[in-house]
Amino acid sequence: MGSNAAENHPISFKWLTEARDKRGAKIISVDPRFTRTSARADIYAPLRSGTDIAFMGGMFKYILDNKLYHEEYVKWYTNATFIVKDSFDFDDGLFSGYDPQKRAYDQSKWAYETNEDGSYKKDMTMEDPRCVLQLLKKHYERYDIDTVCKITGTPKNKYLEVVKAYAATGAPDKVGTIMYAMGTTQHTVGTENVRAFAMLQLLLGNIGRAGGGVNALRGESNVQGSTDWALLYHILPGYLETPEAKKHSNYQAYVDALTPKTGYWQNKPKFLSSLLKAYWMADDPVKSYDYLPKRIDGKHYEHIALFEAMYNKEIEGLIIWGSNPIVGGPDANKEQAALYNLKWMVAIDLWQTETSEFWTYKAVDRPTDKDVYGIKKPEEIDTEVFFLPACNSYEKAGSVSNSGRWMQYRWQACDPVGESRADLQIVNDLMLRIKKLYEGSSKPQDEPITKLTWDYGHGDHPDLNIIAREINGFEVVDGKPGKLVANFTKLKDDGTTASGNWIYSGCYPEDNGKDEDYLARRRDNKDAAYPGTKPIGSYLNWSWCWPVNRRIIYNRCSATPEGQPWVPDLTSIFWNGEKWVGNDVPDFGGTKDPNGPGGRDAFIMRPEEVGCIFSKRNEGPFPEHYEPWESPVKNLLNSQELNPAVVIWEPDKKADPEEYPIIGTTYRVSEHWQSGVMTRMQPWLAELVPNVFVEMSEELAREKDIKNGNDVIISTTRGDIKAIACVTKRFKPFNINGKSYHEIGVLWHFGFNGFANGDPANRLTPHIGDANTMIPEYKAWLCDIRRA
């Protein structure tokens, strides 16, 4: 659901096929249109884009009404038993504590009841009307199957087939997994969509167990790594929050505000201190904390926010690195116009991208004369653009992290072409030159640069082993690297240790002068089993996995409350009477007795130490269905049309459904990659999908007099694009509350460069994002279509 694994993650699909052949697994595909994944699924059910929460809510209700949840699991490993304070309430789409002016909630209204000693109040029978399980039941009472199907447009029999098949995994001896991707996240309710998956998996007892989980299929091979490494504005490496200028004005203020009193995050100061030490090894972390850049309290810095700022002339320079926003960014016409306001731009990529060539004549062409944001000709643009050629992943060495958190090293296959260089070389060179410019400065404001520790060897390419050792962490002796630490449990908050990223600490625990000291380079493909058990696919000596080589996090859940496997054949870890052993690294103090105090607190990273069915997100503790920003129908479940906590950047760009009645969505195909920079330049791939096309139902095509293969114009309030019609039986109109609605889907890979080219579909998509992450709502918007 929310992913098209066969097309966009073809290798992952191999394992689904294997699970079906060897273990009789059933594959369910839920997607607005019938995809290559659906073609290989046992059950296919369509849903209208943007109605995932309604779909999931109906599942919750069915599971709760029929008591199909995994009761023991829910009781011990989730907060279903927790009592919530009376200040929590829900009425007609709004939770308590909403401020309509700020479009934000006062989340303190959603607190747990506590005992006098500060511990959480629980009802182990889960019958108290204020316990999470009962509140959940109450919240999803409205999500009966008829109402759900009226919203999602899913045929009722198909919906029931999916619900029944998946709810069956609530049996203690069954496990189910959810594979999701951008179909889930790219909505104004993206975070809550994923939350709903997590809740479902908790209810059915499918988290922390082999074969279970909520599995994010990443948009590319190192998205996990880039998040771990904080390629986002709100975190530092290892998921430490970036400091805000006023709230976290000094080291102590940060530590006080952001260190929870329970759960493993109590150790946060050790990780922060070690990170600061890795950055500025000679300084005390309390001082070097001041060197960290701080963000303005409460200000948005996400992709959409940055481009809004650029559009409003607040930003004058941009380094665009392996990114192609005027193809891949939402409201691409606006993002292109935003670039005109830059004084300078550096683009780093394998080829000239549409973004690096936004100032050329090619970037001016439009299929109609609609021009919402003022497209400029080259002579009207003053931005100075620099291009640095980067090399391909095969032309360099280094590690990538997959969505299972394996840090896998890749060896270089061949030399880079021409003057292209590895990203690491470019960044190293850049930093060395910046340091040189500041050399000798004694100004205090220059200290973050003059005092920065930057010593990765003397070659043209930085030494990967030095970097890996710094990531792993070491003791700092006299401001210099000392002995390597075994893992993050050895990190300290007093400035005596350094580690570039605490979650990766343990990837290079000893230096014996061998290649495999860097554990990401391990390649032992034997799936050894613990004596007396069957192998479960852990491959513990293949590469390395954070944290501490643990392949399944929260694997305490793989055992019963008493510490025995739920299923003997599927033993992850178990209690042998003295300690936790098995086929994985226990995510739980190795000798903590399951029947002793805290012996069932399975989710160690949470302050509650259990999985959260009730959890604070910006729009509420339970996911509630809201319509996409642009929707042709009214919300049937509450009178809030849109997620009440999202930022509305461009109120005037919201489409009138009378004028733009058709639901639009975007997606990828196997044959192209992201914004197409790497694939549209390849003739063999261009041959497979040579043009941008739009998929639509035969019914819509008839209505609009469009024939298969015709050129069509798709328009939204943001702009128009031309595409080729792919009229197919695989897309069907949706019956929403008794009325028929059409949806179309456009490939977003295309731009004006390359052997395969065409208009970027993102000229159609809106500048609006999720309430927690601001991920753009690429997947559901309104448009109209006509023959060109």
Partner 1 sequence: MLKMTNLYDVSKCTACRGCQVACKDWNQLPAVIEPFTGNYQTHETTNGDTYTIVKFIEQIDDVKGIQWNFLKFQCMHCFDPECMKVCPTDCIKQTEWGAVIKDYDKCIGCHYCTYACPFEIPQYRKRQDITTKCTLCYERVEEGLTPACARTCPTGALQFGEREELLIQARERVKFLKANGFPNATIYGEKELGGLNKLYVLTDTPDKFDLPVDPKVSGNIGFWQNWVQPYFGWLIPVTLGASALSFVTSRLLANKAPAHTEGGHE
Given the rule CB under 8 A, which of 2-10, 127-135, 648-656, 765-773 is the region that contacts partner 1?
A: 2-10
Q: Which of 691, 735, 740, 773 binds partner 1 (CB under 8 A)?
A: 691
Find the shortest distance in angstroms from Cβ 430 to partner 1: 36
Find the shortest distance in angstroms from Cβ 719 to partner 1: 22
Rg (CA), the chain: 27
Q: Where in 307-370 does DSSP place strands (E)?
A: 317-321, 344-349
Q: Which is nearer to partner 1, 11 or 437 (CB)?
A: 11
Examine residue 40 and tell whether it contacts partner 1 (CB under 8 A): yes
Size of interface with partner 1, in residues (CB under 8 A): 41
Q: Which of 151, 585, 689, 744 binds partner 1 (CB under 8 A)?
A: 689
Nearest alpha carbon to residue 48 among 160, 152, 194, 186: 152
Distance CA 154, CA 735 (A): 8
The number of C-alpha atoms within 13 Å of 738 and in the hemisphere containing its C-beta is 2
Q: Which is nearer to partner 1, 38 or 222 (CB)?
A: 38
Distance CA 310, CA 340 (A): 9
Q: Which of 175, 178, 685, 736 binds partner 1 (CB under 8 A)?
A: 685
Let me know the angle formed at the C-alpha of 457 by 453 and 462, rounded to the nearest 5 degrees: 95
Distance CA 617, CA 621 (A): 6
Q: Which is nearer to partner 1, 31 or 517 (CB)?
A: 31
**DSSP per residue, 647-716:** -BS-GGGPPPTTTS-EEEEEE--TTS-TTSTTTTT-HHHHHHS-S-EEEEEHHHHHHHT--TT-EEEEEE
Distance CA 517, CA 727 (A): 55
Q: Which of 1, 3, 13, 154 binds partner 1 (CB under 8 A)?
A: 13
Q: Which of 411, 687, 739, 787 binds partner 1 (CB under 8 A)?
A: 687
Six-digit token pair at 108? 């303190």
Examine residue 686 and tell whether it contacts partner 1 (CB under 8 A): yes
Rounding to the nearest 10 degrees, give the CA dihedral for residues 140, 145, 148, 154: 150
Q: Which is nearer to partner 1, 29 or 558 (CB)?
A: 29
Q: Are 666 and 778 a contacting pair, CB within 8 Å?
A: yes
Q: Which is nearer to partner 1, 625 or 672 (CB)?
A: 672
Report the sign of the C-alpha dihedral through residues 483, 487, 489, 491, in that order: positive
Find the shortest distance in angstroms from Cβ 681 to partner 1: 12
Nearest alpha carbon to residue 179 among 369, 16, 345, 332: 16
Nearest alpha carbon to residue 749 among 671, 696, 697: 671
Q: Which is nearer to partner 1, 15 or 120 (CB)?
A: 15
Per-residue binding letters, 728-757, with partner 1 (x by CB under 8 A)? xxx------------------------xx-
Which residues, numbered 425-464, are part of the site for partner 1 (CB under 8 A)? none
On the question of a cis peptide bond just before residue 733, with omega within 30 degrees of 0, the verdict is no
Given the rule CB under 8 A, which of 31-39, 181-189, 447-455, 458-466 is the region that contacts partner 1?
A: 31-39
Q: Which is nearer to partner 1, 42 or 173 (CB)?
A: 42
Distance, C-alpha 225 to centroid of its chain: 11
Given the rule CB under 8 A, which of 183-191, 316-324, 446-454, 683-691 is the region that contacts partner 1?
A: 683-691
Examine residue 220 and tell whether it contacts partner 1 (CB under 8 A): no
Given the rule CB under 8 A, which of 499-507, 652-660, 669-677, 765-773 is the region that contacts partner 1?
A: 669-677
Q: Which is nearer to partner 1, 364 or 724 (CB)?
A: 724
First-to-last alpha carbon distance for the chain, in angstroms, is 34
b/e string for 568-577 if b means 16 or more Cβ within 10 A?
A: eebbbbbbee
Given the rule CB under 8 A, which of 371-379, 412-420, 568-576, 682-690 is the region that contacts partner 1?
A: 682-690
Let me know the angle formed at the C-alpha of 658 by 653 and 659, rounded to the nearest 5 degrees: 55
Which residues, numbered 707-726, are part of the site for partner 1 (CB under 8 A)? 708-709, 724-726
Find the shortest distance in angstroms from Cβ 54 to partner 1: 22
Q: Which is nearer to partner 1, 161 or 641 (CB)?
A: 161
Examine residue 688 and tell whether it contacts partner 1 (CB under 8 A): yes
Examine residue 335 and tell whether it contacts partner 1 (CB under 8 A): no
Examine residue 759 and tell whether it contacts partner 1 (CB under 8 A): no
Positions that interact with partner 1 (CB under 8 A): 6-7, 10-11, 13-14, 17-18, 21, 34, 36-40, 42, 44, 669-671, 683-691, 693, 708-709, 724-730, 755-756
